[in-house]
Structure 1
């Protein structure tokens, strides 16, 4: 398919398709007209000679410096060069593509004042597989993600570096050489264009979109792992009865409860002990819908913010027809120029912090279920200590739980709020968001949680070896068990658990377990 950007309808799924699946990008015709109209407003401003921030003034604390007309183009080039101050690891290919797509979409809304050639160049970079080399650290989340976006913009003017996808693989080239592979000339930036390219939250929004997609899949994986653990520990699915969710109607809780019921549908294992003497299960089993559901709700909260941000104008200043703005008295041109703070990352940063903490809790409850599969002091009688044949002589998956415990502690540290502020630019920019850091920390928390879930799935699948062979698994838990067994053999002797965990982690991170289980349950999973 082709993802058409119009400034209004870009979705999380669109970002995923372009960033990870290399779908083509096109610009909507009406959006092109909006770009042209916005550029005409810049021309009107230049003719009026009104002072306009970032067009004919300096930046940040240098806002009072007026720039001569003949230096305005150089002002934009200098801005891009001086703001490319990123450090740290390079952004991954998918992260760069997500950021570029998000920036393209905000530019075509028609409030930034760039020429059509600028958005066409960005589109061609995406479609031709030309990816600017962008250091990941340096953004303060206000005035947006300046440093990372400046490294992206360097390539558009023929500077910096880019990774270019060719027939022989990926080659790193100087910016001008990279553009030449797509028969593009370096841009000569016009007034306002340098600022328009780098002022906004598009790194945070792009990272957030990928995170939402993966976090939603991780919560489904947690429901799958938890359902399998419930089954093989002879737990009850009664705690997932819809009557319980109906009287505490959080949407996430109800969704996870429905998932467990659907995953265990047809399970003879569950049916075999429906009338046993156990009154109720431990919290890590019984409260699965409540905890997983709360993480679902946190993910939904972030999805809402990302969906809004992807289709927002986050530049500064923003350009409007004068009649669109109330009580605007400044200047002589028929254009309203408003300086505001749409570049501030707080709407994303706080929700990213919230999700990071929630993902740490998802890891924590999974680790506790793993302990119930392994710990001889709490596990069921049919399971050997640490799932080890000849326990004592052998240790089985004992140390797999150690790894999960270590990751839970790491995820909890990442779940502390990343939003913070350090004044910059001579105290003109005296409150920033650090939203990109929040996005990186939330991603790391998600990666930790997924690996913890991989440990639980390894152990849950091994525990299934000790369940009566005559009893069938549920339609979804059976599919999960089969998927794990395709990459991890049963434990017959002690071996390093690390490769087992790594293989199941790959099943989760790549989405294969998710697709296999969803197919088994006819895509009837939230």
Structure 2
């Protein structure tokens, strides 16, 4: 697969580059736009007026005018000084997401970089040159400065990068991609580090992962409802139709598709129980609300991926008001498109919603294991020999711990620490929001894996003459591919890992979707 940058980038494109070794290419029309933007910067340099990002200092030092002979040093020093990140190094897929989103943003033609800059970034993606980037350091305004500076160091032959698993100095890594270190021209250092690309890249991966997890969570809830002798009437079209939130309708449709032709559900349709507990009965409402939150995040991510978030931005002089710094052909406009609030707030919202998804999943786990509330056909904690064995008791403890960890991540997007001598007095913490959202997704994925471990085990207590639904049967088989039924107490960590890995890879979702007439609802 090849992704064209500078045109239209989707979260799926980012995931393809990050995870599936998709390459990138730069269409000629995009190259023309990049060249035109660079010519505008050159005209401003020749005019020699004071213009932020080209011949002034940065942040609080904006009033410092830089002589023309020092402009290259200005850009190189900017990159070096801002490469001050800390914490764990980003993983391979995260760095590749950062690379492709940075390349795409520069290729939009509002940053004024030379064609050689975008070519070098494209070569790094295609040849697997992955800069060593630390997780922490971005405030989400002015964009993701520190992480992007670590990326930019490699372009000038400094810093470090991994190539085929080997850690190399920046210059040696570039040579592996048959590129030479760049000497940055005016504006290029700032263009390379100013933008929301770490936030946007991680958020794109989060959207793809969250949407996949939601389908598996619907399936897990459907299987729990089935083997726990609950009713699927609560997922009826009639109920969803009189409260038509879009996500509710999707999750309700999924439960109906998954449990179609279920003899287990039919076996107790006329039982004397009036209502199920909320964790079963309200699945479409809660899962649906999470879907709506993730859809809201997708909308922002799709916009952000295709936005110019540099500062200052380079325009044709005819397109902006006269007060901007400009020549006859170019205008350099300072603004705040680097501020990560549009992503930070939606990332926090989505992360909190996914936390609720995990919380409801954990409650369904309890209903399968807890002898005080579980159905009479189930053994306490699904233990073969209750008392002597603990069965899956501690799996619910782990789920509870993971949910608590999700809740502890909070909402970094409402935090603020002024920097740069007060010039940058309100920041977004959007990169922290993105990192936390991905951590919440990982923990939620493991809670859903625990629910699948327990619901598959509960299925062993159901009359084996009764068939599962078309989707829940495939789900049960998918779990049993990697985890055997209990034949006594055993360590469960590997079981949970194995199921979580099948969720993460998409294999489990795809297996179930293939059995449904119209796949999962959308």
Same fold (TM over 0.5): yes
Structure 1 residue matching 2:414: 3-state secondary structure: coil
Structure 2 residue matching 1:320: 3-state secondary structure: strand
Per-residue CA deviation, residues 473-505 of structure 1 (Å, 9 max, x unaligned), is 011100010011111111121111222112111
Per-residue CA deviation, residues 73-127 of structure 1 (Å, 9 max, x unaligned), is 1110111011100111000011011011111111111110000000000000000
* Dislocated runs of 4+, deviation >2 Å: 326-334, 415-419
Match of 1:253 among 243, 248, 252: 248
Per-residue CA deviation, residues 7-66 of structure 1 (Å, 9 max, x unaligned), is x41001100110100111001211111100000001110111111101000000000000
Distance 1:522 1:119 in 2: 45
Alignment of 1:495-514 (within 5 A): 495-514=490-509
Q: Measure how far apart 1:394 and its partner are.
A: 1.2
Please tell me whether residue 392 in structure 1 is matched to residue 387 in structure 2.
Answer: yes
Please tell me whether residue 273 in structure 1 is matched to residue 295 in structure 2.
Answer: no
Per-residue CA deviation, residues 486-525 of structure 1 (Å, 9 max, x unaligned), is 1111112111122211211111112111111111214510
Match of 2:446 in 1: 451
Match of 1:326 in 2: 321
Q: Measure how far apart 1:418 and its partner are.
A: 4.0
Alignment of 1:316-355 (within 5 A): 316-328=311-323, 330-355=325-350
Please tell me whether residue 232 in structure 1 is matched to residue 197 in structure 2.
Answer: no
Per-residue CA deviation, residues 208-260 of structure 1 (Å, 9 max, x unaligned), is 00000001011111101000000001100000001111111111000000000
Structure 2 residue matching 1:279: 3-state secondary structure: coil
Match of 1:92 in 2: 91
Q: Measure how far apart 1:332 and its partner are.
A: 4.5
Match of 1:221 in 2: 216
Distance 2:101 2:500 in 1: 29
Structure 2 residue matching 1:426: 3-state secondary structure: helix
Match of 1:465 in 2: 460
Match of 1:5 in 2: 5
Q: Measure how far apart 1:330 and its partner are.
A: 4.3
Match of 2:60 in 1: 61
Match of 2:122 in 1: 123
Q: Measure how far apart 1:326 and its partner are.
A: 3.2
Structure 1 residue matching 2:466: 3-state secondary structure: coil
Structure 1 residue matching 2:25: 3-state secondary structure: strand
CA pair 29-331 structure 1, distance change in 2 beyond 3 A:
closer
Structure 2 residue matching 1:364: 3-state secondary structure: helix
- Contact kept in structure 1, 2:311 and 2:338, CA below 8 Å: yes
Distance 1:101 1:479 in 2: 36
Structure 1 residue matching 2:421: 3-state secondary structure: coil
Per-residue CA deviation, residues 276-329 of structure 1 (Å, 9 max, x unaligned), is 111111100000000000111111111110000000000000011111113436
Root-mean-square deviation (CA, aligned residues, Å) is 1.0
Distance 1:66 1:422 in 2: 28
CA pair 10-331 structure 1, distance change in 2 beyond 3 A:
closer
Q: Measure how far apart 1:412 and its partner are.
A: 1.1
- Contact kept in structure 2, 1:237 and 1:260, CA below 8 Å: yes
- Structure 2 unmatched ranges of 5 or more: none
CA pair 26-71 structure 1, distance change in 2 beyond 3 A:
same
Alignment of 1:138-153 (within 5 A): 138-153=137-152
Please tell me whether residue 81 in structure 1 is matched to residue 90 in structure 2.
Answer: no
- Contact kept in structure 2, 1:145 and 1:201, CA below 8 Å: yes
TM-score (norm 2): 0.98
Match of 2:353 among 350, 358, 365: 358
- Contact kept in structure 1, 2:483 and 2:498, CA below 8 Å: yes
- Contact kept in structure 2, 1:159 and 1:174, CA below 8 Å: yes
Distance 2:491 2:98 in 1: 39
Match of 1:433 in 2: 428
Distance 1:520 1:337 in 2: 56
- Contact kept in structure 2, 1:316 and 1:342, CA below 8 Å: yes
Distance 1:412 1:243 in 2: 34
CA pair 386-99 structure 1, distance change in 2 beyond 3 A:
same
Please tell me whether residue 306 in structure 1 is matched to residue 305 in structure 2.
Answer: no
Distance 1:333 1:79 in 2: 29
Match of 1:518 among 498, 501, 513: 513
Alignment of 1:161-176 (within 5 A): 161-165=160-164, 170-176=165-171
Structure 1 residue matching 2:288: 3-state secondary structure: helix
Match of 1:71 in 2: 70
CA pair 372-133 structure 1, distance change in 2 beyond 3 A:
same
Per-residue CA deviation, residues 395-414 of structure 1 (Å, 9 max, x unaligned), is 10011101001111111111
Distance 2:410 2:248 in 1: 21
Distance 2:316 2:368 in 1: 65
Distance 2:203 2:83 in 1: 22
Distance 2:44 2:398 in 1: 61
Moved more, 483-492 or 412-421: 412-421
Distance 2:194 2:250 in 1: 39
TM-score (norm 1): 0.98
